[in-house]
Amino acid sequence: EGQLVESGGGLVQPGGSLRLSCAASGFTFSNCAMSWVRQAPGRGLEWVSAISGSGLITYYADSVKGRFTISRDNFNSMLYLQMNSLRAEDAALYYCARGYSGSWYDAFDIWGQGAMVTVSS
């Protein structure tokens, strides 16, 4: 069916940087658009960024544009999110998710377990 496993979360000071990773297995990773979706404690889901299967096309939420960079390594089936200039409002559980049936974000059918990012001094 497929599996996603995030890593790289942690505590970072405001203005700091963090890189999240997502290891994919069980499906043809390079065929799939992938997204990062976050969820602040007690809040709803918020889409953050997406990348095409080839890695050539990327999209970002306005709230992270210019600070976050999504990338992928199709050879190793890895997805990344480089987060710079972190703010308190970026604190959340970050999920990687697969676009369903070749779509970008018509639906997300596979989710990781999440990586927690805490931004605090």
Q: By CB neighbour count within 10 A (0-12 exposed, 13-18 middle, 19+ buried), where does 112 fall? A: buried
- Interface residue with another protein among 91, 114, 117, 119 (CB under 8 A) is 114
- Interface residue with another protein among 16, 52, 55, 111 (CB under 8 A) is 111
Distance CA 55, CA 102 (A): 14
In whole angstroms, how close is the CB of 15 to another protein at the nearest point?
A: 27
Token pair recorded at residue 96: 């990687």
Q: Which is nearer to another protein, 53 or 112 (CB)?
A: 112
Q: Which is nearer to another protein, 1 or 89 (CB)?
A: 1
Question: Looking at this protein, which amino acid is placed at residue 28?
Answer: T
